[in-house]
Structure 1
Amino acid sequence: MTRVNEYAQPIGDPVTDWTPPEGPERVTLVGRSAQLEPLRRDHAQSFLPSVASHPELWTYLRVEPPRTPEEAYAVIDRILAGADVPFALIRRDTGEPRGMLTLMRIDRVNGVIEVGNILYAPELQRTRVTTEAFHVLAAHVFEDLGYRRFEWKCDSLNEPSRRAALRLGFTEEGTFRSHVVYKGRNRDTTWFAMTVDEWPRIREAHRRWLAESNFGADGRQVQKMSEVFASLDA
């Protein structure tokens, strides 16, 4: 039932037992196959060369792929100089940094935070490692830090990013048309989000998909993430 005020106008539900959270700090988050460490300049030595050699991975990022080690370090330096909280994605089986992702657009007053600057080495695409990296980050956002809303935004033409957001449990909320100009072209931005109320269901789906029993001896998944979500809703 919609709440109304004394003027018979509809209003939102009250927010009780909640105070604005602290900003995220540079911590290490550990899963079984993935580990997130505070991004350092030396991480660039491990993962930027592999992603720089795949220019298609940079199409929807604001920067061009680095062509030299100096340009690679400049990418990291710009990220580290900002107010965001970037992480290096570490493969726990090798201990190697193989990507990065960032907590950004941090709005403590309203309990909103975004994940962005996502860049993985090609061999990690569509693997347990990247799924678990996101899972431990989302758990950190909702459970450790106490944020109410976790956002994902991308170029509306970036179909792999749109699919990834939906697969992980985000809800598509709409598109901001003519939102950004980057690399000399227009970007319509599609917004996705999950909320703290939705997190328990999403967390359970992630846990079931990541379970060892969901993978065969060849490492292939038994159930797709979409099938896991469907089984929870049955």
Structure 2
Amino acid sequence: MSVQTNRLDQPIGAALPDWTPRPRPPRSAMQGRFCRVEPFDLARHAGDLHAAFAQDREGAIWTYLGYGPFGDEAVFRDFAAATCCGDDPLFHVIVDGVSGRALGVASFLRIDPANGVIEIGHINFAPALQQTAMATEAMYLMMRRVFDELGYRRYEWKCDALNAGSMRAARRLGFTYEGTFRQAVIYKGRNRDTAWFSITDREWPALKAAFEAWLAPENFDAEGRQRRSLQEMRAGG
């Protein structure tokens, strides 16, 4: 049974009279103080990445990805050639600003210029990159491109709902949990319930200010330890 209502009484979304489709992300580097984030290049990055990932002896960094681990560099190169060189997902590499070595990857994917929506995914940080200022800065640089450079409205993060590390990271970086899609995916022969998170363009200015305060040189002591956490910055503490 349907209920008929006067159309004038029905709520509708906010008008966006000036909205236009947004550009697709460019293939250009993003330079920070601790790292550089640049589009994946098979010849330049594959060897470094395989070596960095191999430092995870147990292969734990691959648990919640639909591929890997790769014990052999040639196999990893074949995978990367088939997976990491396209436009969507658009893979980027996080390069150590000191050593110049590639230590991790992240990609823009499900790029939707018409609606101004883009997702960050395929995140894989080698042990040397995990829990470092480089890792946080890389995520900030990619957000800044999405919101400031390209003018997107929504930035998404999705992960296996059992991936506690990814869930913590999303919340630390300022993403808001939106819910879980049950039995959303089958990968590696097992079920995945997918947790959804997002940041919107309205939330970005305050979040950007917190990132920039956290990344400022004065927030780190002589040993490179943070003085105040990102969560404190976001709370205005």
TM-score range, shorter chain: over 0.9
Candidates 183, 186, 192, aligned match of 2:191: 186
Task: Identify unmatched segments of 5+ residues in structure 1.
Answer: none
Indicate if the aligned counterparts of 2:174 and 2:199 stay in contact, CA closer than 8 A. yes
> Match of 1:205?
210
Task: Identify unmatched segments of 5+ residues in structure 2.
Answer: 1-5
1:164 aligns with 2:169: yes
> Match of 1:29?
30
* Alignment partners' CA distance in 1, 2:95 and 2:231: 26
Report runs of 4+ in structure 1 exceeding 6 Å deviation.
none
Indicate if the aligned counterparts of 1:155 and 1:190 stay in contact, CA closer than 8 A. yes
> Match of 2:41?
40
1:129 aligns with 2:134: yes
For 1:73-152, list aligned pairs within 5 A: 73-77=77-81, 78-81=83-86, 83-152=88-157
1:56 aligns with 2:74: no
Name the stretch that deviates more: 5-14 or 155-164. 5-14
> Match of 2:73?
69
1:64 CA displacement = 1.9
| Residue-by-residue CA offset, 1:159-216 (whole Å, 9 max, x unaligned) | 1111111111110110000000000000000000001111001100100111111111
TM-score, structure 1 as length reference: 0.93
* Alignment partners' CA distance in 1, 2:228 and 2:180: 31
Letter in 1 for 2:163: N
Letter in 1 for 2:119: E
Indicate if the aligned counterparts of 1:25 and 1:85 stay in contact, CA closer than 8 A. no
Tell me the C-alpha RMSD between the 2 structures: 1.4
Letter in 2 for 1:18: W
1:83 CA displacement = 2.8
Report the secondary structure of 2:104's partner residue.
strand
| Residue-by-residue CA offset, 1:55-81 (whole Å, 9 max, x unaligned) | 000000000211111111022112214
* Alignment partners' CA distance in 1, 2:64 and 2:87: 20
> Match of 1:195?
200
* Alignment partners' CA distance in 1, 2:93 and 2:224: 24
Report the secondary structure of 1:11's partner residue.
coil
Indicate if the aligned counterparts of 1:35 and 1:90 stay in contact, CA closer than 8 A. yes
1:127 CA displacement = 0.8
Report the secondary structure of 1:10's partner residue.
coil
Indicate if the aligned counterparts of 2:176 and 2:199 stay in contact, CA closer than 8 A. yes
